[in-house]
Structure 1
């Protein structure tokens, strides 16, 4: 297969993990089709801006911005229901309140439809099992079963491999790998609740800051004092 025909759909939230996964896809010689989801998350505008900046950095020509309004209808997550507070006291036990029901399953299903249409060979998603906040849709086993279901439910000629290059990395390894590949981390956004300056206290900010600290590096984004 020549390089030009090697296509990958990259689910790109604008966060550090999905951005690194997209840079890895580029390094592996894939032509990237970027997919971003606006699903009523608190930092929707900031994440969309991050996605667009990263698409420019990667010189991506083909991109999709998909609206999924129903997550706010069902609520059940602090990310999509403003009546539920974002936890700021450290990582919770079990599945945290920031978990959005079956989000990655839904994202992968939509991205697979796009991959089938675009005749892409791979689908990149920046899930992290070891260092994630305990989300059930970020595990190797889940991705493996989704791959089987997707290939079972698409055309015979459609063969999609779901690639999770970060699944076994810790956050400091993600920071180091990002720096090694010159990923523009200043364009990424991880905060669950703020769009101007990152809060620094939500689970996602804590994981990110801890990763930079362990990697002996300074996070280039702005945080509240």
Structure 2
């Protein structure tokens, strides 16, 4: 399966260190794109593990990596957002599951940061590893992304605004894992756990770990993850 990125090149790939963004990176490389990596560092329990993968990928493929400190967002959330939501990945967008009507994902801050980085570095587009489950949680997600792209165009009427790409959006997590296995993505290096802090293993019991386990089961791909439980 070839993931389509269109004619946009060069591009920025947002690499969180999870399965989806890692498969996105390998797909972009397979498509022959000139890639710059962008990693948002939020100083969460999972951050060191995620950053480790981003640095490994940068060295392995000899790609430039921009690590942007977004930990101020995490600090701002304390006292206002449920701690479980704070610990989760920004792209998960699960605030509605916490029964907190005032809580929204910090995902838009990530999109804004990478959009600005893409603009100032002269890249044609930036790519996000969003998948079908995330669109299911937010049925109008694709519309929101299109509107954000239009917003960038309106702000930059005299120059080409970067395109926002989400080439995995039609794929479920199980299909992303299948694709990753086909492309020999080192899935064992990717990180999903929101709870493990002083361990190189996934905790195996948090919601992200449970979703990861189930996705591997659904995909039929052997789960290469090391869990503590």
Structure 1 length-normalised TM: 0.82
Q: Which residue number corresponds to residue 3 of structure 2? A: none
The structure that is helix-richer by fraction is 2
Q: Which runs of 5+ in 1 are unaligned?
A: 87-92
Quick one: distance in 2 between partners of 1:192 and 1:31?
Answer: 31
- Secondary structure of 2:208's match? helix
Deviations 1:103-149 (A, max 9, x none): 22111111111111221111110112x32396549921221111111
Contact 1:11-1:18 within 8 A present in 2 as well:
yes
1:210 corresponds to which of 206, 209, 214: 214
Alignment of 1:131 with 2:133, yes or no, is: yes
Q: Which residue number corresponds to residue 74 of structure 2? A: 71
Q: Which residue number corresponds to residue 96 of structure 1? A: 97
Matches within 5 A, 1:1-225: 6-60=9-63, 62-68=64-70, 69-75=72-78, 76-78=81-83, 81=86, 95-97=96-98, 101-128=104-131, 130-132=132-134, 136=138, 139-154=141-156, 156-195=158-197, 196=199, 197-225=201-229
Distance verdict in 2 for CA 1:137–1:122, change over 3 Å: farther
Deviates more, 1:161-170 or 1:131-140: 131-140
Contact 2:12-2:38 within 8 A present in 1 as well:
yes
Q: Which runs of 5+ in 2 are unaligned?
A: 1-7, 89-93
Quick one: distance in 2 between partners of 1:51 and 1:159?
Answer: 26
Deviations 1:27-56 (A, max 9, x none): 222111111111132211111112111222
Deviation at 1:94, TM superposition (A): 7.1
Distance verdict in 2 for CA 1:131–1:27, change over 3 Å: same
Structure 2 length-normalised TM: 0.81
RMSD: 2.7
Distance verdict in 2 for CA 1:45–1:141, change over 3 Å: same
